[in-house]
Amino acid sequence: MAVIESFKIQSDLKSGSDICRIGLSDGAMFSFNSCYLPEEYRDPVFWSLGRDLGPSEEDCCRFAASCFRAERQALRLVGRAEQTSRGVFLKLLKRGFSDACARAVIDHLSGLDIVNDQRYAELWLRSRLSRGSSPRRLLASLRNRGIDRVSVQVACKSVFTVENEFALLVSYIKKNHLEFEDDLHTFKFILKREGFSSIVLENYLENLGAE
């Protein structure tokens, strides 16, 4: 059983959490965000100097310290580019962090809106409006990235205005060299199957004098 020999705490105004550093009599030192501790361990009084720290309490310190290290790596990832929660989770696992640790970090960063799957989905969709894809394929790609159905639906509603979907349709037709002169029915069937709305398809055909 180790004894608490030093304890420092500094408030992080940005996250609303307390960053703690604790030193034990056995030489172990931990830095952690108090949000990764059980509720009953977050009171600074709990960490009074000279107090014995039991094995389970030390395990909580180690877990919180691991989460703190994982959080810093996650922040570096987000600092380089927008990330999905699943993407960050898998990258943390690849770096050797535990499943529980990675999930705790994702929950914390999502609560701070640092990781936001809906925001990622909206930015990702907007970046692909002119790349010749279709709504169906874009939605499938987002789902494959681990983004939940509700976030995908909200993002699509925000991004796929009539104007944006029209631009996507034009890009898709051009990339796939689609023609309607010979078989308008098949032309419309293909585009509806790919997720293009009837109103946008009708607008496109009207502009070309097909209807």
With a cut of 80, say whether residue 206 has pLDDT above it.
yes
With a cut of 90, say whether residue 138 has pLDDT above it.
yes
Give tens-digit pLDDT for 30-52: 999 989 999 888 888 888 899 89
Q: What are the structural domains of the chain?
A: 2-111 (1.10.10.10), 117-207 (no CATH)
| The predicted structure's pLDDT at residue 69 | 95
Q: What percent of the chain is predicted at pLDDT more than 70?
A: 95
Give tens-digit pLDDT for 6-16: 988 887 655 55
- Whole-model pTM? 0.83
With a cut of 50, say whether residue 111 has pLDDT above it.
yes
**Mean pLDDT to the nearest integer, 173-201:** 88
| The predicted structure's pLDDT at residue 211 | 47
DSSP the chain: -EEEEEEEEEEETTTTEEEEEEEETTS-EEEEEGGGS-GGG-SGGGG-TT-EE-HHHHHHHHHHHHHHHHHHHHHHHHHHS---HHHHHHHHHHTT--HHHHHHHHHHHHHTTSS-HHHHHHHHHHTTTTTT--HHHHHHHHHHTT--HHHHHHHHHHH--HHHHHHHHHHHHHHHT---SS-HHHHHHHHHHTT--HHHHHHHHHHTT--
